[in-house]
Amino acid sequence: MKRSKLLVALAALALVFAACTDAGGGDDTTTTADAGGEGNGDGAPAGGRLAAVQEAGVIVCGVNETLPGFGVIDDEGNFSGFDVDFCRVVAAGILGDAEAVEFFPLTAEARFPALQSGEIDLMIRNTTWTALRDGQEGATFLHTTFYDGQGMMVPADTGFTELEDLANANICVLSGTTTELNLTAVLDSRGIPFNPIVFEDNTQLRPAYEEGQCEAWTSDASQLAAFKASIEDEGGAEQFIMAEIFSKEPLGPVVADGDSEWAQAVEWTVMATVQAWEFGIDSSNVDGFQSDHPDVQNLLGAGTDEAAGLDLPADFAVQIITQVGNYEEIYNRHIPGIGIALEGTPNDLWTNGGLQYVPPYH
Amino acid sequence: MTTTKPRREVARPPFWRDIRVLRVVGQVVAVVIVLLLLRWLYNNLVASFDRLGIALNFDFLTSQTRFRIAYYNEFDPSSPVWQMVLVGIKNTFLAGFFGIILASVIGLIVGVSRLSDNWLVARLATIYVEIFRNIPPLVIIIFFGFALFFFGPFPILSESWELSLGGNNLLILNKDRWAVPGILATGGLTVFWMILAVGVVATYIVWRWRTRVFDDTGQPHHRVLWSVGVLLGFFLVGYLATGTPLEMSWPVITEDRRLFQGGFAFNWGFISLTAALGLYTASHIGEIVRGSILAVHGGQSEAANALALSAFQRYRFVVLPQAMRIALPPTINQYLNLVKNTSLGVAVGYAEITALTRTSIGNGRPTFQSIIILMAVYLGFSLVISLILNIVNRRFTLVER
C-alpha cells in the first residue's frame, strides 16, 4: 500500500516537472502575458505607468523620513523636506494636485528593490546617481535636484583639520551608502589607515559619535551640516566640518528602467521648477505672469492644449509653481535651515555660476 | 496466521468516496499546488528581472568588495565579495560560539538557582529570568551598546586603562576594545599541530584506560589529572621539538596613543552583541533547565539523600545527568535562535554576515542573490548545529535494554 502511494506521488511529481519544463521552452509568451496582467502596481508594460498613475489619481513616492532638511515626519505624521516637496512637484504637475502623493518611507537597502518591484512609482530619497546603480539596479536617474558631496565632521576640540589627521581613527558611516565606498577609496588612495564603524541609521550613529565611540563622522556635506547645527543647538560639543569635499553626490529623482514616457513626465515636471526660477516666476507672481518670451508662454501653457506632447496637462507648470513653488522657493524653505545657503553653492542657477541648468521649453 | 478464512469480498464504495483513493489524491493535489505556486513565483521573478534588464547570476561574488570592514584591518578592499562573505561568516560564528557558551553556563546556574532553598538566590534568579526573558533581544543589544560603551565608564583609546605586570599589559580597556594577551605563531605550525593531534588521541586513550581501571577495580581513577598531564606533556614536547613556534603577543597602545596593537582584542560591537544574546538566551535556557530538573522523578533525589550524598553530589551525579537528557532538545532550539539573532549585530556596528551583506547590497550588489546567499549561510549554521547536537542527543538518550 505504502509503496504504491509513493509511486503515485512520484508519477505526479514527474508530470508537474514535465509541465514546467515544457512551459520553460515557450517562456517568452507566457511571461509577457503575465506581466501585462499584473495591473497598475507592478511595472506595467511600456508606457503604462503614467496612465496607471493618472487612473489611480495618486503617486507613490519613496522618501527618506529621517533626514533633516530633505525628508522628515513631524509629530502629526506629515512629511516635509526638500525631497518630499519634489514628490509634491511631480504630483502637482502630473495630477494637478500637490497633495495626491502617498509617501513611502524607505531604508537605504530597501529602496532599489521597492523601485524594481513597482511598489513605488518614483523615489526621491537622497540617492546618489552612480554608474553601477544605473546599470545593475535597473534604475533611471533624472534631473539632479541637489548637488552634494561627501564631507568629514570632527569634534572641534580634536584640532583635526584635514583627512590626513585622521590616521588610525574610528570613522562612523552609515551602511549601504555610497559614502562608505568613497571613504575607502579616498583614504586608501592616500594611504591613510582607518577603521570604519558602520551603523544602520543615524539614530544609532549620532550617540556613538557624540560619546567618542568614533572620532569622525563622514556623510554627505548637507547631512553633516544638518547634524552639526542640531548637535550644537542641543548643547553638544562644537563641531568642525573639514573644508575638503571628497566626492560627487548628485541626488535626484529615480524611476525604474523601461518606461521612458513616465521618466520624461517626471523629468519635465521637476525641471519646470528650475525653468520657472530662471524666468523669475514664483508662487507669488505666477498668476497673470506676463511675458512675450515664447518659452515662458510654452512653460505656462498659454495657447496650447498639451505641454509639448509630453502627456502632461497644459497648465502643469502653473500648478507646480502655485502649489509648491519654484526651485529657489523649495530650497529656501528647507535647506538654509540646516546651514547651507543657496548662493554660491553648485545648486545655484547656472546664470549665477551654479549648476542648475535645464533644457529650454521650446 | 497463514491459514485464514477465504477472503471476503468487501463492497468498496465508488472511488470518489473511497478513503484510500482520496488520501492519495489529496496528497498529489497538495504537491501539485505547491509546485505550481513555486513555479509561478519563480516565473514572476524571472519576468520582472528580464523586464528591468537585471541579471540573475552570481558573478558579483568575484568582483571587488571596495569597502573596509570594521575592526578587521587585514581585509583588503580589493578582495572579491566572496571573501567578504567569509569574513562575515567568521564573525557570525564567533558571536554565536561565545554567545552559546555564555548562555549555557549562565543558563545552567540560573536554572539550578531558581530551585535553590536559599530564598535570596532563588528570588534573584527569578528576577533575572523575568527581566531578560521579557525584553526583545534587539533592545538588550542596543542597551548594552549604549550603557557599556557610548555612555559607559570606559575611557577613549588614548586614555585606556591598562593593567600591566612586569611591563606587559594583561588587560587593556577602553570604549573601543577590550584586549587580553594573545598567542602568536612565529614559525610553521603544521608539525606542532600534528604532534598535538596525536596528543589528543593519546589523552582520550588514557581517559578510557583510567575509566576502565576504575570500573574494573574500584581504585580511584584520577582521570582528569592523568589526561591533563598527558596533554601537557605532548604540548611541551611538541613546542620544544618544533623550535618554540609560539610566543605571547601582548596588547599595547602605540606611543602616540592613536593605535592599538597586538594581543587578542574584542571590539565593543562583539561584546555588546555576545553579552546581550548570551544573557537573553540564558534566561530561556534557565527555564528549560529548571523544568528538566523538576521533571526528574522526586524519588531520585530522595534516593540520593538516602545514600548521604551532599547537595552538590546529588545534582552532579544523580539529578543533572537525567535532567540534561530532557533539557537537550529544547536547548538546541535556543542555540539556533541565538545564532540567528546575531543578525541583530548591525545595531551595534558589528560586522557579521547580515550587516556586511546589507552594506554590500547598498553598494550596488544585487539584492536578490545576496539575500539568497545570506539565507544559505544561516541555513548552513542551523543545520550544522542541529546535526552536532542531534548526535550528542542520541548519545545521551536513554538506551533501553
Q: What is the DSSP string of A34-96?
A: HHHTT-SSS--STTHHHHHHHHHT-EEEEE-SEETTTEEE-TTS-EESHHHHHHHHHHHHHHS
Instruction: Say whether both A99 and A114 belong to one domain.
Output: yes
Q: Which three cell numbers stand for residue A277?
A: 526660477
Instruction: Say whether both A287 and A140 belong to one domain.
Output: yes
Residue B273, domain member (yes or no): yes
pLDDT tier at A21, thresholds 50, 70, 90: very low
What are residue A81's phi and psi, to 5 degrees? 140, 170
The two beta strands, A216-220 and A139-141, are unpaired
Q: What is the mean pLDDT of residues A77-83?
A: 92
Chain B nearest C-alpha distance from A76 (Å): 26
Residue A101, domain member (yes or no): yes
Mark which of A208, A230, A247 sits at the end of a domain. Answer: A247
Name the residue of chain B whose CA is nearest to A24's CA: B43
Q: Give the integer Cα–Cα distance in Å for B48 and B370.
A: 17
Q: Is B346 helix (H, G, I), strand (E, B) or coil?
A: helix
The two beta strands, A216-220 and A79-80, are unpaired
- Test mutation, A170, A186, A214, A247, chain B, max B CBs within 10 A: A170
Q: How many domains is chain B partitioned into structurally?
A: 1
pLDDT of residue A42: 46
**Positive or negative: CA dihedral A22, A24, A26, A27:** positive
Residue A357, domain member (yes or no): no
Residue B245, domain member (yes or no): no
Q: Is A35 helix (H, G, I), strand (E, B) or coil?
A: helix
Instruction: Say whether both A161 and A288 belong to one domain.
Output: no
Q: How many domains is chain A partitioned into structurally?
A: 2
Instruction: Verify whether the Cβ–Cβ distance A204 to B347 is below 8 Å.
Output: yes
| CA torsion, ordered B318, B322, B323, B329, to nearest 10 deg | 160
Residue B36, domain member (yes or no): no
What pLDDT digit, counting tens, does each position of A303-352 carry? Answer: 555 556 778 888 899 999 999 999 999 999 999 988 888 988 899 999 99
Residue B71, domain member (yes or no): no
What pLDDT digit, counting tens, does each position of A205-235 carry? Answer: 888 899 888 899 999 888 898 889 889 888 8
Name the residue of chain A whose CA is nearest to B65's CA: A181
Instruction: Say whether both A212 and A334 belong to one domain.
Output: no
Instruction: Say whether both A140 and A278 belong to one domain.
Output: yes
**Positive or negative: CA dihedral A122, A127, A129, A130:** negative
pLDDT tier at A7, thresholds 50, 70, 90: low
Interface check for B58 against chain A (CB to CB < 8 A): the answer is no
- Which DSSP symbol is given to B115? T
Residue, of A120 and A289, whose pLDDT is higher: A120
Alpha helical stretches, state H, B161-267: 190-217, 223-241
Q: Give the integer Cα–Cα distance in Å for B322 and B325.
A: 5
What is the value of pTM for the model shown? Answer: 0.77
Strands (E), B268-310: none
Residues in chain A: 362
For the residues of A256-292, what is the DSSP string, one character each? Answer: ETT-HHHHHHHHHHHHHHHHHHHHT--TTT-TT----
Mark which of A218, A247, A276 sits at the end of a domain. Answer: A247
C-alpha distance from residue A350 to each of A324, A357, B157 (Å) = 22, 5, 48
pLDDT tier at A23, thresholds 50, 70, 90: very low
The answer to whether the beta carbons of residues B381 and A198 sit under 8 Å apart is no
Alpha helical stretches, state H, A57-169: 82-95, 111-116, 131-136
When mean pLDDT is compared across A104-113, A248-257, A261-270, B366-375, the lowest value belongs to A104-113
Interface check for B338 against chain A (CB to CB < 8 A): the answer is no
Closest partner residue to A177 among B43, B47, B362, by Cβ? B362
Instruction: Give me the amino acid identity at B37.
Output: L
The CATH number of the domain where B146 resides is what? 1.10.3720.10
Instruction: Say whether both A122 and A262 belong to one domain.
Output: yes
Neighbours of B304 (CB within 10 A): 18
User: Domain range spanning residue A76?
Assistant: 48-147+251-352
Interface check for B39 against chain A (CB to CB < 8 A): the answer is yes
C-alpha distance from residue B385 to each of A316, A328, B286 (Å) = 62, 60, 20
- Test mutation, A197, A203, A217, A260, chain B, max B CBs within 10 A: A197
Residue A116, domain member (yes or no): yes
Residue A24, domain member (yes or no): no
Closest partner residue to B51 among A16, A137, A258, by Cβ? A258
Give me the total of CB pairs closer than 8 Å, taking one residue from chain A and one from chain B.
153
Residues of chain A contacting residue B149, judged by C-beta atoms under 8 Å apart:
211, 213
pLDDT tier at A32, thresholds 50, 70, 90: very low
Residue B98, domain member (yes or no): yes
User: Domain range spanning residue B281?
Assistant: 81-151+268-396
Instruction: Say whether both A124 and A53 belong to one domain.
Output: yes
Residue B213, domain member (yes or no): no
The CATH number of the domain where A202 resides is what? 3.40.190.10
Average pLDDT, chain A: 83
Residue B102, domain member (yes or no): yes
Residue B45, domain member (yes or no): no
Instruction: Verify whether the Cβ–Cβ distance A34 to B47 is below 8 Å.
Output: yes
| Closest C-alpha to A307, from A276, A269, A278 | A269
User: Cα B93–B96–B99 angle (5° rounding)?
Assistant: 145
Residues of chain A contacting residue B156, judged by C-beta atoms under 8 Å apart:
212
Which residues does chain B have with pLDDT short of 70? 1-8, 187-188, 398-401
Interface check for B346 against chain A (CB to CB < 8 A): the answer is yes
Interface check for B32 against chain A (CB to CB < 8 A): the answer is yes
Residue A18, domain member (yes or no): no
pLDDT tier at A8, thresholds 50, 70, 90: low
pLDDT tier at A132, thresholds 50, 70, 90: confident
Instruction: Say whether both A92 and A158 belong to one domain.
Output: no
Instruction: Say whether both A257 and A137 belong to one domain.
Output: yes
Mark which of A227, A247, A267 sits at the end of a domain. Answer: A247
3-state percent helix, strand, coil for chain B, nearest multiple of 5: 65, 10, 25
